[in-house]
Structure 1
């Protein structure tokens, strides 16, 4: 039986994506815990990015993960407090902090890699549908880059006002 939100269709897309995201995060946490790994799924974007690109500035990390500067800083503070990342001054510009995984962070990533393989397999099963979720997300993100939700709504409002 569908609830009101499920029945509202596109109007509740943000709510439904949030609900899906929350469930994936909760299950992700359970998966890490079942492998005796203390890791918060919200840390993933920064940890994975620094695993792939070992030394980055705060701005570069924010750009890589697509978060705002304040949200990125909040995550970085948490990870520094947990001693999973460390920072150093940029030799060219001492106002700039460069971040990298700490020894503990690198060790944690090594422990997580086999778990990530399992997660990818499970997620592939979940998203391997006739409408392939990842492909759909890529398409919607591309459309948002061309023209955002707000801009489209404003254009529609203007068109309706003209008629």
Structure 2
């Protein structure tokens, strides 16, 4: 057990990031094992456009919960690979609409059986006493009510000596 593991709740974000990185690394191996050249970081964009075929960049960023610049970065990578395409919105030329290309749609069809394998493996992985997906949902709800920072501010204010 390392220092990070021993530090408990203080290293929560670090441990979640470590878990996320391992899942992404293994996801990449699963895709490669099936002959699919796909980076797991692209998943939120590709999957969202699969379910919602035409979105503005802002709508897509909102759907996946990423910042606008992060979303644009992913879209640039995916456009270079010709998996997504964008066009100006007909009603508002400032907006860009994005959608999957035929190549992107074909990739989705290739990935669907792999996703079923991933769902089964991930379900087995989190099938623990404390279901991770339920715990994540609970923490996300708590953060919507009051962020980590807001909670810390309340504690800081309560522990400040009166001046």
TM-score, L = length of structure 1: 0.98
Q: Which runs of 5+ in 1 are unaligned?
A: none
Counterpart position of 1:69: 68
How far, CA to CA, are the matches of 2:158 and 2:78 in structure 1? 48
Q: Is the counterpart of residue 22 in structure 1 residue 21 in structure 2?
A: yes
The Cα shift of 1:160 comes to 1.3
The within-5 A match list for 1:14-163 is 14-161=13-160
How far, CA to CA, are the matches of 1:5 and 1:87 in structure 2? 43
Residue 82 of structure 2 aligns to a residue in which SS? coil
Deviations 1:118-154 (A, max 9, x none): 0000000011111000000000000000000111001
Q: Which runs of 5+ in 2 are unaligned?
A: none
Q: Greater shift after overlay, 38-47 or 84-93?
A: 84-93
Deviations 1:63-111 (A, max 9, x none): 0000000000000000000000011221111221110000000000000
Deviation >3 Å, runs of 4+: none
**How many residue pairs align between the two structures?**
162
The Cα shift of 1:162 comes to 5.3
How far, CA to CA, are the matches of 1:161 and 1:38 in structure 2? 54
Residue 99 of structure 1 aligns to a residue in which SS? strand
Residue 160 of structure 2 aligns to a residue in which SS? helix
How far, CA to CA, are the matches of 1:96 and 1:21 in structure 2? 32
TM-score, L = length of structure 2: 0.98
